[in-house]
Every structure is written in structure tokens, then in C-alpha cells.
Amino acid sequence: MELVVQFQVLNQSCQCLAWKPHPNVAWEAKSQHVVAGYSDGTTRVFSISRTEMELKMHPHATALTAIAYSTDGEMILSGCSDGLVAVSSPRTGMTIRILADHKGSPISVLQCIRKQYHDFGVEGGELWLATSLDRRVSVWASDWLKDKCELLDWLSFPAPASPKGLGSLPPSLAAFCPWEHGTLVYVGFGMQKEALFYSLRKKQVVEKIALPYFATSLSLSPAARFMAVGFSERLFRLQCCPAAPPQDYGGHDDAVQLCRFAPAGRRLLTASHSAVLLWELLSA
């Protein structure tokens, strides 16, 4: 529990970051990298082992709000506050594609997963999704080496008029489901307080799980059928899927803005305004 390395960028706030994936390479490998997105529209790639910034790119004109590596680590996907999604190469520093489908609403989530070529009848070795704060989710199939990027599905979730007294709407969040391939989970402001499981094959919502409040954060365990959902009410819920009696946990000083399962699924990080809590899942 000590600070190992720190990178500092003056006069800019770091809005989002992502670790470079290393398929078939041990975590201790020396080529550990992290990419961070900043309020001036830039992205910076840092080498953890060399403790230095290796690359700076400027793919956006407005603040970044989400960032992710492709599954092979060869591309960086970034989204900004005006809804544009950029695809950039960390090898060349060039932005190779700009997607404007979500233009006008900040990007809240970007996520990439591997897929098989025969899935969904489209070419490409990767699925990725983009979620914007206006409750829209786009799902794409891509093969970046062949410069292919095809829209697979487009979701738009309805919502009532913004209620009085609600200072800001809850975020729109989506994630691919690790234990149900071809399914994504969505939470956000809507007609009901619930988590929706949407099947990309059936093109419909196949399961709904009621929530006590609108969610502020979401994470799905890669190792077990567990979903963690954070709320503004200073607690988070650990939900076993399919629907089973949930467990609610407090201990935060403010809204739970982040839930994140560790890769092995046995630990969970939750974060609020000034506290980061580490939880151990004994039954995972």
C-alpha cells in the first residue's frame, strides 16, 4: 500500500484512463502502459516501467470523457464531451477515424471485447460499444488492421421528463456481459430504476433487475455472475445474476462514482468523493 509511480500534467485535469491490455503476456511484463485523457482534448500514453510519457496526441477539441484500448492494444478509442469518438494509433500518433454518431452528447463509456468472426454475421475480431449521456448505446464490429468498422446495433432507451429537484441526471452506463456472450447490461435514467440485459442476437431486452435507486456506477465481474452497482445514496449493491437476493453496502462519504472488479473477480474497488474502498468477495 504505497505509491509506486506518479505522473503529473500541469494545468489539465485527467478525466479518464485505461490500462493497455497484454494478451498472452504476464502482468509483470515490462511493457506496462496506461493511456489518460485530459480536459484539453489530448491523450497521453505513459510507460509505467520507464516512468515517462511516451506519446501525446490531440484527437479532440473538447475534454475527453471516456477512453479505452482495443483488445490487442494497437488502437486507442477516445470519446469527448461533444459526443465524438476518435480511433487513434499509439504507434504512429495519428487519428485514423472519427465517428460522429453520438455527436451532441458526452460519451460516458467505451468498452472493447474480443469476438469470433462468425458471431452476428459480420467481419472483424472485436466488438466495442459507446454509450452517451442521452441514453444511447452503439455497438460496433471492427477489424482495425483492415480499416473495417461496422455498426452492429443502435439502442435508445426512453426516459420521462427530468424530475424537479434532480440537479443532474444519472449517467448512462453500459457493459458487455462476461457470462452471457452477445448480451450487454445497461443502467441509466429511465422509466424505471432497473438494470436491463439486452441480447444482441435477439435484438431485445431479455431480463430486467430492479434497483432501489438510479445507478451512478456499474461493473460486471469477469469471474462470476456478479454485478456491482453504485448509487448517489452512498451505498453500492452486489447483485448475483440471475436475480437473487442482493446485498447492499455502505461506508462511503458521497455518491459511489466508481465500481470496478479486479481481473480475477475476487476483489472490488469502489470510490466516492474522497474515499476508495477495497472489498473482498469471499464467495466469488
pLDDT at residue number 25: 53
Nearest to 149 by CA among 130, 170, 126: 126
Task: Name the burial class of residue 261, with classes exposed (0-12), middle (13-18) and buried (19+) by CB atoms within 10 angstroms of its CB.
Answer: buried
pLDDT at residue number 122: 77
pTM of the model: 0.92
Domains and CATH numbers, the chain: 11-21+32-156 (2.130.10.10)
Cα 3 to Cα 78: distance, rounded to the nearest angstrom: 27
Give the pLDDT of the chain (284 residues) as one tens digit per residue. 788 899 999 999 999 999 999 765 554 455 689 999 999 999 999 999 889 999 999 999 999 999 999 999 999 999 999 999 999 999 999 999 999 999 999 999 999 999 865 677 777 789 999 999 999 999 999 998 888 999 999 999 998 887 655 558 899 999 999 999 899 999 999 999 999 999 999 999 999 999 999 999 999 999 999 999 999 999 999 999 877 889 999 989 999 999 999 988 999 999 999 899 999 988 65
C-alpha cell at 158: 426512453
pLDDT at residue number 22: 76
Cα 54 to Cα 39: distance, rounded to the nearest angstrom: 19
Contact 8, 38 (CB under 8 A): no
